Structure 1
Amino acid sequence: MRLFHTSDWHLGQNLHGQERDFEHACFLDWLLRQLAAEQPDVLLIAGDIFDTVNPPVKAQERLYDFIVSAHEQQPLLTIVMIAGNHDSGSRIELPAPLMRRLRTHALGRVLWLDDGQLDAERLLIPLPDASGAIAAWCLALPFLRPAEVTGAQLGDNYLRGIGQVHEWLIAAADAKRQPGQALIAISHAHMAGGSVSEDSERSLIIGNAEALPASLFGPSISYVALGHLHKPQKVNGEERIRYSGSPIPLSFSEINYQHQILDVRLDGETLLSVEPRLIPRAVHLQRLGPAPLAEILGQLSELPDIDLLAETQRQPWLEVRVRLDEPQPDLRQQIEIALQGKAVRLVRIAAEYAGSGGREGDDDSATLIELDQLTPQELFRRAWLDHYGNEVDDPTLNDFAQLLQDVQHEEEQA
């Protein structure tokens, strides 16, 4: 059996106010060509399909157009996609009955039976090979929100509830599969030891709770297709537990990532190989600085001029980071003048004062930080410190994180 593992498409994402639809369209066109050329049996999309719980119409059209096109060119392809923390689980599942006619399975949430047991049947998906025989079972684990895995049957410990869901689902899969059939897990989670990008991954962890251990996926699982972390990586060096990463750089901190999908091959229950397929970058991200203003202006003057025959949509996104000795009220104007006629698109100017390596809060070491660089937890911590004059304690951080999860869940249901 052969699978393509992808994740974190973030359709509908904006980069500092600039839409990325062209880049996503280029990725999806490339992926369709890969599917046509290589004919894998299964395509896995491990969550964060959309960037927000209420994605723009264009982003939804991109997803459904892709699914229809993939089915038309490869009728035997099975697609499994799960909701991530950025997604609305109910929105992902809304067209599920229609998508099943296109051999696409959409799982957004876990459900419980009247007797309090996990509805494992809906999370276990048969994966046929080219001959039509069931070669594997997919264990679909969408992002598990606290309200879904805590309560009367599971108690109030979020991580313990997640562990119980994994244990029950794996037991159900072991009972269902026949000899020689592999178990493939697809999950959207933050695994312990994973490398996080600076500013484009919303925290999944409540308060200071630890990330999930890889031991949740025992040796009976042949391959674990993970989503959430945007950098492609193995978990604890294990070949079978992988993040495929995002298909495009979702922030300037991801400029140097090798964006890819993973080509996974199995022989029965045995994992044969996992090979990256690098995704061509339709639009480059370019970062200048941090450097003094005079140096930055010199670098801007050396950028290539606009080619009138080239596509404007392929011009790089530009972030400029300027180090200042004092405030410059006309900073943006100076930079925009220097960029006139240049083949780049300015999306962000970050300014910091000289001496920013000092202690946070010192007047001579202040760094100008935009709100979209800070997580809600960090904003809360700073507001607490400003109001009360001391650092927030862990129990209060945990309460805030739980409240944040509840609000995000209510937004999803709206």
Structure 2
Amino acid sequence: MKLIHTADWHLGQSFHGQERHAEHRAFLTWLLDTLVDRQADALLVAGDLFDVVNPSLRAQELLFEFIVSAHERLPRLDIVLIAGNHDSGNRIELPAPLMRRLRTHALGRVRWQGDGTLDAERLLVPLTDAQGETRAWCLALPFLRPAEVTGTGLARDDGSEDETDLNDYVAGISRVHQQLIDAARRQRAPGQALVAMSHAHLHGAAVSAASERPIVIGGEESISAALFPPEIAYVALGHLHRAQQVGEARIRYSGSPLPLDFSEVDYPHQVVAVTLDGDTLAEVAAIPVPRPVAMHRIGPAGLDDVLAKLETLAHDPAQPRERWPWLEVRVELEAPIPDLRTRVEAALENKALRLLRLERRLPQSKADTASARIDLEQLGPRKLFERTWQARWGESPGDAVLADFDRLLQEVLDDEGADTGESRP
């Protein structure tokens, strides 16, 4: 069987206030051609299809048009989609009955049986070959929010309940994975492969801190790759934007297909081609994604060096504006220059480039160092809360308080995206 693994499309993303509709459409066009060229049997999309929980109509149209076109060109193609932490699980599942007619399976949330065990059957998707024979099972596990795995209705594997475990997010995630894997073992027939798909942060994986919103604020949510036993032929992961394997070639993040921040400009953006031979992994290969819009990051450097570098940037004025390269400029200054933006924009005059961000870097004075000035953006909400609690009560907040804060902050972030439709890190 031939599978294509991708993730973190972030359709509808606003990039420093600029929409990226043309880039996303170009990627999906390329992806569809790639599926056809390789005669893929299945496409796995491991979460964060959209950038916010309430995506624009244009973003949703891109997804649905892609699914319809894929079914028209590859009628036997199985598509499996899971919700990521940027997605609304309910929104992902809303058109599921219709999408199943197009051989597309959309999983947004987990459900529980009356006895507190996982409703695993709905998360097991058969993957078929060109002859319609089931050759593999996809364990499609959408992003798990804390409330879904730490409630009192979650049973242990032996049927008992443990209050400490039930209030532990990572323990809850682990238990869900284990119950789903156990169900897949019972479901599979001899010779059928198991392919797991999850939107999660694994221990030891490299994070793009500038563009990835933590799944649970505080960084305590990462899970172990040991959750995936050797009988899982391939693990298709989403959430981290850097393409990478985690420990073994069979456990991979495909990474985002497009850079989502200037810090990702040099990432090897790709999708992953996976070949299964029976119930084992035969081959894994990266397919580079062509970048429809170039991205340049200049500096940090002195102003003269920056201006000289800007002069060397290639550009094609014949391109439509939506294809002009994105540009970030970082200037190191010895003293403030009031007309810095004017000078940079003058260097870009008549160049088909879009300046999105101009960063000024001033030297830190001894007074600044002595006062230990706090950068709230770098500190983050959780550390700020811990410092405030320490100052007010004279002691650090306990684990239970921090867990409550994490859940509340996650809810605020989700509600904020639903209300405003704004992109956020």
Indicate whether the TM-score tops 0.5.
yes
Give the C-alpha shift of residue 206 in structure 1. 4.4
Picking from 237, 242, 258, the partner of 2:268 is 258
Question: Who is 2:147 aligned against?
Answer: 147
Name the CA shift for 1:53/1:67 in 2 (closer, same or farther; >3 Å). same
**From 406, 410, 415, the counterpart of 1:405:** 410
Q: Is the 8 A contact 1:385 1:391 kept in 2?
A: no
What is residue 111 of structure 2 aligned with on the other side? 111
1:268 to 256, 262, 278: 278
C-alpha distance 292-392 of structure 1, shift in aligned 2 (>3 A)? farther
User: What SS does structure 2 have at the residue aligned with 1:362?
Assistant: helix
Secondary structure of residue in 2 paired with 1:326: coil
- The equivalent residue for 1:325 is 334
Q: How does 1:307-322 map to 2 (within 5 A)?
A: 307-322=316-331
The answer to whether the Cα contact below 8 Å between 2:53 and 2:418 also exists between their aligned partners in 1 is no
Q: CA deviation at 1:216?
A: 0.7
Partner AA of 1:17 in structure 2: G
TM-score, normalised relative to structure 2? 0.89
> How many Å apart are 1:384 and its aligned residue?
6.6
Is structure 2 residue 189 aligned with structure 1 residue 181?
Answer: no
Give the Cα–Cα distance (whole angstroms) in 2 for the partners of residues 381 and 216 of structure 1.
30
1:164 Cα shift? 0.8
Match of 2:213 in 1: 202
Match of 1:362 among 360, 363, 369: 369
Output the amino acid matched with 1:312.
Answer: R
| Equivalent AA in structure 2 for residue 292 of structure 1 | G
The CA deviation string for residues 348-374 of structure 1, in whole angstroms up to 9 with x for no partner, is 011111248x89x5389979x8x8xx4
CA distance in structure 1 between the partners assigned to 2:6 and 2:27 by the alignment: 11
Work out whether 1:242 is the aligned partner of 2:252. Answer: yes
Q: Which amino acid aligns with 1:60?
A: Q
Letter in 1 for 2:55: P
CA distance in 2, matches of 1:151, 1:210: 16
Identical-residue share of aligned pairs (%)? 55
Instruction: Answer with 37-46 or 324-333: which moved more.
Output: 324-333
Q: What is the SS of the residue equivalent to 1:71?
A: helix
Contact 2:217 2:382 in 1 (8 A): no
State yes or no: 1:216 paired with 2:227: yes
Tell me what 1:31 maps to: 31
Matched, 1:226 2:237: yes
Alignment pair present for 1:345 and 2:391: no
Which AA in structure 1 matches 2:369? Answer: D
The alpha-carbon deviation at position 210 of structure 1 amounts to 5.0
Give me the TM-score of the superposition, normalised by structure 1: 0.91
Say whether the 8 Å CA contact 2:53–2:414 is kept in structure 1: no
Matched residues, number: 405
Gapped regions of structure 1 (runs ≥ 5): none
Aligned-partner Cα distance in 2 for 1:37–1:223: 22
CA contact (8 A) 1:208 1:394 kept: no
Q: Tell me if structure 2 keeps the 8 A contact 1:46–1:84.
A: yes
Query: Which amino acid in structure 1 is aligned with residue 287 of structure 2?
Result: R
Q: Deviations over 1:288-331 (max 9, x none)?
A: 11112233223323434x64433332221000001122233332
**272, 296, 300: which one aligns with 2:310:** 300
- Alignment partners' CA distance in 1, 2:175 and 2:380: 30
1:140 aligns to what SS in structure 2? strand
Report the Cα distance in structure 2 between the residues aligned to 1:332 and 1:379, rounded to whole angstroms: 31
Counterpart code for 1:274 = V
Measured in 2, the distance between the counterparts of 1:70 and 1:163 equals 34
**CA distance in 1: counterparts of 2:282 and 2:142, whole angstroms:** 26
Query: Contact between 2:124 and 2:137, CA under 8 Å: does it hold in 1?
Result: yes
Q: Is the 8 A contact 2:216 2:407 kept in 1?
A: no
Matches within 5 A, 1:53-68: 53-68=53-68
Asked whether 1:378 is paired with 2:380, we answer: yes
SS of aligned partner of 1:70: helix
| Residue range with higher mean Cα deviation, 343-352 or 396-405 | 396-405
Give the structure 2 partner of residue 163 of structure 1: 174
Deviation at 1:12, TM superposition (A): 0.5
1:83-131 Cα distance to aligned partner (Å, 9 max, x none) = 0001010010010000000000000010112222211111011111111
| 1:41/1:25 CA distance change after superposition, 3 Å | same
Give 3-state SS (helix, strand or coil) of 2:24's partner: helix
